[in-house]
């Protein structure tokens, strides 16, 4: 059910008509409703007598007509929706969207310039994962492609390699020296970076575990390694006493003193 819901998710119109219209058309076709966009609902003439089968088909098409209108209405926000003055049929709404947002070359040029600026300033954030960053880059790249921009994989690969965070410096150098990035696919680059990211996370986790264990050990044993416990209670002051001859210094590893007392 989750996969089906995701598959039929209604694409929201965000100003990028070509990209939206392609997604929307695929959705409507997947639901078997595209003929409603192309043909509409053919209503019988007034007073015409229909057979039972014809009436059933008409009722079905009327239902599908409202299903398509519902999909289109859900895809548009209020501002865009109010620009569609004639909403009598799904076909009219579809053609109106195409006329307003798909056929204007000046609008497309302005949109493409905006996307170019957005692409240029893209950079990976410190807290961002490889998969998340690739998602952001590809979202902008695909919008540029759908608006007529020439976006070969090599351009995207180069952009990503230039804008990764410092923790990827060594793997970027390794990739650039060992491989032909002009012919490298985006999937291949992502796979290499994800593997490196996983190794980096494991190494950081191991270091943190080691530091934690050392801190715990130091807090419980002091600055040296004791080889015996306290020797009982002292007299007079009531303080506990112990034999320092069994303490090993962390610095010189000699017995008889702590690290802060080490003469070396």
DSSP per-residue letters across 240-253? B---GGGEEETTT-
Q: Residue 37 corresponds to which tokens in the numbers above?
A: 């966009």
Of 64, 76, 66, 60, the closest CA to residue 24 belongs to 76
- Give the model's confidence band at 121: pLDDT under 50 very low, under 70 low, under 90 confident, else very high: very high
pLDDT at res. 246: 60
The contacts of residue 213 (CB under 8 Å, 6+ apart) are none
Q: Under a CB-based contact definition with an 8 Å cutoff, are residues 102 and 17 in contact? A: yes
CB neighbours of residue 193 within 10 Å: 23
Q: Is the pLDDT of residue 161 over 80?
A: yes
Mean pLDDT on 53-63: 89
Q: Is the pLDDT of residue 227 over 60?
A: no
Mean pLDDT on 22-27: 92
pLDDT at res. 219: 57
Mean pLDDT on 157-182: 92
Please report which helix (H) or strand (E) contains residue 224, including its range.
strand 224-226
Q: Is the pLDDT of residue 103 over 80?
A: no
Tens of pLDDT, residue by residue over 183-219, are 999 999 999 999 989 888 876 555 555 555 555 555 5
Strand partners, 225: 248
Q: Under a CB-based contact definition with an 8 Å cutoff, are residues 154 and 181 in contact? A: yes
Percent of the chain with pLDDT over 70: 75
pLDDT at res. 240: 44
């Amino acid at each position: 059910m989750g996969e089906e819901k995701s598959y039929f998710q209604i694409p929201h119109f965000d100003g990028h008509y070509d990209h939206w219209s392609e997604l929307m058309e695929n959705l409507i076709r997947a639901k078997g409703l595209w003929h409603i966009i192309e043909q509409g609902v053919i209503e019988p003439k007034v007073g015409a007598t229909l057979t039972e089968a014809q009436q059933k088909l008409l009722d079905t098409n009327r239902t599908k007509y409202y299903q398509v209108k519902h999909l289109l209405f859900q895809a548009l926000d209020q501002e865009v929706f109010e620009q569609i003055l004639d909403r009598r049929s799904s076909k009219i709404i579809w053609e109106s969207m195409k006329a307003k947002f798909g056929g204007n070359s000046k609008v497309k040029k302005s949109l493409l310039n905006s996307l170019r600026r957005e692409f240029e300033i893209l950079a990976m954030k410190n807290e961002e994962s490889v998969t998340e960053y690739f998602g952001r880059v590809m979202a902008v790249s695909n919008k540029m492609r759908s608006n007529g921009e020439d976006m070969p994989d090599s351009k995207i690969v180069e952009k990503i390699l230039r804008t990764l965070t410092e923790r990827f410096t060594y793997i970027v150098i390794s990739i650039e020296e060992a491989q032909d990035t002009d012919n490298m696919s985006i999937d291949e680059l992502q796979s290499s970076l994800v593997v490196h990211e996983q190794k980096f996370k494991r190494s950081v986790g191991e270091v943190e575990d080691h530091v934690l264990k050392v801190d715990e050990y130091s807090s419980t044993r002091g600055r040296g390694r004791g080889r015996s416990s306290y020797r009982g209670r002292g007299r007079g002051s009531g303080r506990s006493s112990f034999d320092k001859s069994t303490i090993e210094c962390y610095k010189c590893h000699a017995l008889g003193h702590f690290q802060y007392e080490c003469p070396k």
